[in-house]
Amino acid sequence: GLKMSSTFIGNSTSIQELFKRVGDQFTAMFRRKAFLHWYTGEGMDEMEFTEAESNMNDLVSEYQQYQDASISEGEEE
């Protein structure tokens, strides 16, 4: 086994860029209904996808608010 190990946990607003990119890709595919039949065939509803997209957009907006707040605080100093 290992004699030493470590774990790093970080919280950064930069993750929002990844969420935006994934969200944009999802939106493009969902508009075309690409692969949707596989999921609806297993019992999922299209509304679940719409809700997930909305949740992702809300998350990105929340991260953006925190980023804007930290920038504003930095300018005040």
Domain boundaries, the chain: 33-67
Sign of the dihedral through C-alpha 22, 24, 25, 31: positive
30 in Cβ contact with 49 (< 8 Å): yes
CA–CA separation, 27 vs 53, rounded Å? 8
Are the C-beta atoms of residues 8 and 58 closer than 8 Å to each other? no
Of 10-14, 28-32, 63-67, the range with the highest mean pLDDT is 28-32
Q: What is the reported pTM?
A: 0.74
pLDDT in tens, 66-75: 899 888 877 7
pLDDT at 55 over 90: yes
77 — pLDDT class (breaks 50, 70, 90): low
In the numeric block, the tokens 């039949």 are attached to: 37
53 contacts 30 by C-beta, under 8 angstroms:
yes
